[in-house]
Chain A
Amino acid sequence: MERNIEVRLRGPEIHTDYTGLNAISSLGSQLVGVENTKITVNLSSIRWMEAHLAPLLLIIIRHCEARGNWFEFVGVSEKLKLILSKNGFFASSSPDIYNTTLRVTEFHSDAAISFSNYTRENLARPEMPKMTAALRSKFYEGIDELFANCALHSEAPINICAGGQFYPRSERLCFTIVDGGIGMDEVIYRRKSIRLSSVNAIDWAMTPGNTTRQGDIPGGLGLKIIRAFIESNSGKLLIVSNSGYWCQNGSEVECGSLVSPFPGTAVILDIVTSDHNHYDLAKVPDPRDIW
């Protein structure tokens, strides 16, 4: 006999904040241990969800599918169906006539070049924000570093998932990258033999000078580069990893613990596209004095 379970994503709105991320992670926690079951996800209480958060849902789905489960979505409002079809989360794809989505896409951890091409091709479209060349370069740098970080540390059994959305009215470009890996706390435990809470683990990883690397290859620069960029841009950098919630808004950092853990690590970059900072290179080193 076919086994069925129904779960609900709690709304009414899912935004890029503590409440929204809690809602998504609690969906995952309702499915822990469920195997070989048809899972019906009821979205009837969701009025709106920011489209760039879809990769988090997809990671939860992929974890569940790996345990033999399959999914059906019910109670999806037309508005929600439209935004989640435009970005490819729902298979019945609707054309993105405004070309403002970065489609939800999965990448193997060794597909760094495919990932770079994906971001470049998507952001090269004329409908995408008119960012200065310097800002665009910093944005590319940031997301390439994020992918490299996921690939190096996540130890995930499933693909990395990415997606994004340009919000023209609020002049924001949001980009999400999610791995379904062991989480920052577990990475630190395995590599440094030290047990930290999930939130302290994120905070530690975001502190300049810290790295989980041991052995031959130094590390610990990528996330710090992004932090500095976000501070200048007055944007937002939000990370959830297992139970940890960490958010840098401009230069302010807010931390907390999620009610239910998220099965992996998600990093959301939310940048202000009207930023006209020059991002000049403070001091270019003399090529004769590099080594």
Chain B
Amino acid sequence: MKTISVPISVIVGGGICVSASDGHKVFDVIRQHIVNGNRAALSFSGVTRMTTAFLNAAVGQLYGDFDEQKIRQHLAPPEDAEDWHLVRLKIVVDRAKIYFNDNNSIDSIFSSITGQVNDKNS
């Protein structure tokens, strides 16, 4: 399996990684590498600002398309990542796993607060 660097700031066109639409561009690249059987190494070189909205789109939604084991196989440890990049990335990844593994739990939290049942689940 070939490991290929995915330079976030090059894909986005700069170090400000804040919008979900830019995150989606990164997602498309990573997804293609996984589909092609490669191993993607996200490079955070030059990333100066980064939101969870960006990361949710860039990597969070991978967990909706692929199972965790496949993602582990096809994503290498991040490259050139500063501590704050790693912290934020981990928060988003953990959240995505919960979101996709147990989406109903989000609705049950909702129900417990509001006392209402989501029509879509009833």
Contact = CB atoms under 8 A, between A and B. Distances in A.
A152 B23 CA distance: 13
B14 interface: yes
A145 B56 contact: no
Majority secondary structure of chain B interface residues (helix, strand, loop or mixed): helix
B87 A285 contact: yes
A69 B115 CA distance: 43
B20 A148 contact: yes
Interface string B82-122: 01101101111101100110000011011001101011100
A193 B75 contact: no
B87 A218 contact: no
B51 A218 contact: no
A194 B110 contact: yes
A219 B118 contact: no
B119 to A, nearest CB: 4
Given A137-B84, A222-B52, A285-B90, A116 B18 contact: yes
Contacts of A195: 116
Given A152-B53, A192-B110, A284 B87 contact: yes
Nearest to A112: B19
A290 B30 CA distance: 15
Interface residues of A, number: 46
A113 B16 contact: yes
A207 interface: yes
A213 B83 CA distance: 28
B77 interface: yes
A290 B19 contact: no
A125 interface: no
A150 B112 CA distance: 26
Contacts of B51: 141, 144-145, 148, 222
Contacts of B83: 281, 284
Given A110-B19, A110-B21, A221-B91, 17 more contacts: A112-B22, A113-B18, A113-B19, A137-B84, A144-B18, A148-B19, A148-B51, A149-B53, A193-B119, A209-B106, A219-B56, A222-B52, A281-B87, A284-B83, A287-B81, A290-B75, A290-B90
